[in-house]
Amino acid sequence: MKQKVALVLGSGGARGTAHIGVIRELEKRGYEITSISGTSMGALVGGVYAAGKLDEYESWLRSLGKMDIFNLVDFTLSTSGIIKADRVLKEIQKFIPDHIIEELPISYAAVVTDFKQKKEVVLTEGSLFEAIRASISIPLVITPVLKSDTIFVDGGVLNPIPTNRVERQKDDILIAVDVNSRIANQKPIVENPDLGHFEKLTYGKLKDFQKKLSSLFPAHTHKKENTGVGYFNLISETSSLMLSQISKLTLEISPPDILVEISRKAFGTFDFYRTEEIIKTGRNAAIVALDNYKKSLL
């Protein structure tokens, strides 16, 4: 009889691609994933897996080069975000049709943040892709989702590792994946930490965006200080620090049986072009965590 698993997949931008590697290792060892909760990229990967389409999604990700990813980014000069993310989800829907969450073969919950009400919302019914789109709305980067009188943003704002939102079954074990861990990392994030590849590609778009912001919010005529920190790296580092701290507190309140940890410094938030390396890192982290758990039972 297979060991049942309640799987919790945390947020973390491109680092969330490591969830694929974790799932692959669980499958290899014969675990049965019976329920999933996820936030942001965790909601995306978890939703795709629950729909039975992880093979297709992984193959598509591995096929993308740097320019392919850049071309999928739909920029908008909005003050609420600079990427709409609709283009990439439409591309995914070409090979993964939308599903009704309550009809999925695996129990699924996507965590989002209700910006107006300042509260966490758990989506367990309705359109899978609408739930994913709402959960990945990284503040200041990906535009929020407007639905009725509600504004949804990234669930990671309040609950980046929703261990308290996954459905439990008798005799299952709770496994959580933290891709914002403060554990040490052996490799640098990118070749140039001050200006990652994604930011180089988007430099022209960012200049237009910054001009728009300047016209909306004119600054006083002070000499601007050049910090040497680019827009995307600033967003990446600050959001990573925030997620790391909230994740730590969440895991203390609702600890899993097994915690799979990937360093927040392993990859940048926008390093989606490093799919193969990220997936391998996730699998290696799962191997370590599962082996340690096995030893603890002896």
Which residues lie across from 78 on neighbouring strands? Answer: 81
Please state, as a whole number, how many other Cβ atoms lie within 10 Å of the Cβ of residue 219.
8
Query: In Å, what is the CA distance from 266 to each residue of 42, 132, 157, 193?
Result: 17, 24, 21, 12
14 close to 281: Cβ distance less than 8 angstroms? no
Read off the DSSP letter of residue 2.
P
Q: Single out the catalytic residue among 154, 172, 178, 271.
A: 154
Q: Single out the catalytic residue among 40, 135, 181, 247.
A: 40
**Inter-axis angle of helices 54-63 and 18-28, to 10 degrees?**
130
Q: From CA 223, how far away is CA 79, in angstroms rounded?
A: 24
Check if 55 is active-site.
no
Helix, strand, coil shares of the chain, percent, nearest 5, are 45, 20, 35
Q: Six-digit token pair at 260?
A: 């799979």
**Alpha helices (runs of H) in the chain, residue ranges in sequence order:** 18-28, 41-50, 54-63, 66-72, 86-92, 128-135, 197-201, 203-216, 231-253, 275-296
Check if 74 is active-site.
no
Q: From CA 71, how far away is CA 102, in angstroms rounded?
A: 33
Active-site residue list? 40, 154
